[in-house]
């Protein structure tokens, strides 16, 4: 197992820990008020924990609650009986409700998503894909999406995104405050400095004016430096977290290709991938899907292995 696959477990564990800390601090504060428990250091700690965790945890809800209904609504998904009949044999070992539908789009695409809480999932196919793909290609794509559900990829991605977002809340706030503060203050301060420089130069000469600028720069520099560090820290944090998420997503696409090929065939999976358009063979660290050329290469290796085993068993 690649190390990147450990990250969802870490994200999930950290989210659980944060929610437990938040719930414990909330319960303590409620009990302290209800039973008139004297204030102590524990009360202060609980209050700080509650206040510090409230905003990050609240921001994670968009990745955890009602994601199935939200995605269905965003894509205008409509149930499709023909697609359900096609996909049904692949869902025999999945013991929860999976909604199958079609959504209007000119893109050749499909997606699968499952709820973080409860047992609900959906698989959506674009209308253009349904019109263009053959039955075998649709089945291979469906198998790819079903593999995502079996592996819990959607839940894992939701945990990663929620944890990443929680980590970024306060750095983002500090970055935005710093950036806006610098932008809004730069022109007024610049005009005041210019006016002061001119006035001092006229009254006391250029030497005094430049001395004034130097003293002012020494006073402002630490503030500007701290603002710049806040902005740079958020940019670096966002870069690292997004890169980790994309790396995990690409790895899961390879696994879904392999699972889809096992349920159908490597040839059917490669034929389905040929429907997609790929701008190039190179992959960016910010691509959530690996390049099609590499996906096809792995399927070709898989196909060669299957054919080799068949020949060995027949000889």
pLDDT tens, position by position, 57-85: 999 998 888 788 888 888 889 999 999 99
Among 104-118, 235-249, 281-295, which stretch is predicted with the lowest mean pLDDT? 281-295
Q: Examine residue 85 and state whether it is found in any structural domain, yes or no.
A: no
Radius of gyration of the chain (CA): 28
Condensed to tens digits (0 to 9), the pLDDT of residues 135-173 reads 999 999 999 999 999 999 988 999 999 999 999 999 999
- 283 located within any domain: no
Among the listed ranges 21-30, 176-185, 299-308, which one has the minimum average pLDDT value? 299-308
CA distance 91 to 149: 10
Local confidence band at 308 (pLDDT 50, 70, 90 cut-offs): very low
3-class DSSP state of 233: helix
Pairing between strand 110-114 and 97-103?
A: unpaired
Count other C-beta atoms under 10 Å from residue 62's C-beta.
14
Decide if 114 contacts 68 (C-beta within 8 A). yes
The neighbouring-strand residues paired with 102 are: 78, 125
- What range defines the domain where residue 19 resides? 3-59
How many structural domains compose the chain? Answer: 1
Residue 103 belongs to a domain = no
Give the pLDDT confidence score for residue 312 in this predicted structure.
Answer: 44
Exposure of 254 by Cβ count < 10 A (0-12 exposed, 13-18 middle, 19+ buried)? middle
- Does a structural domain hold residue 20? yes
Over 70: is that where the pLDDT of 279 sits? no
Residue 24 lies in a domain: yes
- State the pLDDT confidence band at 277, using cuts at 50, 70 and 90: low
- According to DSSP, residue 14 is labeled H
Does residue 240 fall inside a structural domain? no
Query: Any residues with CB less than 8 A from the CB of 173 and at least 6 apart, and which?
Result: none
- Can you give the pTM of this predicted structure? 0.81
Is residue 299 within 8 A of residue 253, CB to CB? The reply is: no
- Residue 232: CB atoms within 10 A of its CB come to 12
Is 210 within a domain?
no
Torsion of CA 99, 105, 108, 113, to 10 degrees: -30
Half-sphere exposure of 190 (CA within 13 A, CB side): 6
b or e along 18-38 (b: 16 or more beta carbons within 10 Å of the residue's beta carbon)? beebbeebeebbeebeeeeee
Quick one: pLDDT at residue 51? 94
* Mean pLDDT computed over every residue of the chain: 86
Euclidean distance between CA atoms 238 and 313, whole angstroms: 52
Whether 35 is covered by a domain: the verdict is yes
> Quick one: pLDDT band at residue 224, thresholds 50, 70, 90?
confident
């Amino acid at each position: 197992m690649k190390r990147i696959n450990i990250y969802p477990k870490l994200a999930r564990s950290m989210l659980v820990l944060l929610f437990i800390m938040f719930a414990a601090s909330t319960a303590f504060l409620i009990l302290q008020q209800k039973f008139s428990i004297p204030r102590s250091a524990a009360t202060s700690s609980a209050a700080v924990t509650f206040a510090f965790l409230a905003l990050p945890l609240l921001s994670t809800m968009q990745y955890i609650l009602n994601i199935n209904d939200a995605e269905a609504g965003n894509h205008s998904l409509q149930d499709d009986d023909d697609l359900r009949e096609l996909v049904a044999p692949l869902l025999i070992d999945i013991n929860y409700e999976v909604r199958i539908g079609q959504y209007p789009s000119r893109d050749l695409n499909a997606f699968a998503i499952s709820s973080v809480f409860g047992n609900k999932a959906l698989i959506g196919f674009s209308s253009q894909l349904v019109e263009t793909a053959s039955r075998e290609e649709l089945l291979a794509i469906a198998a790819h999406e079903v593999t995502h559900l079996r592996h819990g990829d959607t839940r894992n991605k939701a945990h990663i995104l929620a944890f990443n977002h929680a980590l970024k809340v306060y750095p983002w706030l500090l970055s935005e405050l710093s950036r806006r503060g610098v932008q809004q203050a730069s022109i007024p301060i610049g005009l005041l400095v210019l006016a002061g420089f001119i006035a001092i130069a006229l009254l006391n000469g250029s030497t005094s004016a430049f001395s004034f600028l130097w003293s002012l720069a020494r006073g402002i520099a630490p503030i500007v430096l701290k603002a710049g560090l806040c902005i740079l820290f958020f940019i670096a944090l966002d870069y690292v977290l997004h890169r980790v998420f994309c790396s995990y997503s690409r790895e899961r696409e390879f696994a879904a290709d392999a699972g889809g090929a096992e349920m159908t065939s490597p040839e059917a999976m490669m034929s389905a991938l040929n429907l997609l358009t790929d701008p190039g063979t190179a992959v960016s660290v910010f691509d959530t899907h690996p390049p099609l050329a590499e996906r096809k290469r792995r399927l070709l290796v898989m196909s060669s292995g299957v054919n080799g085993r068949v020949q060995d068993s027949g000889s």
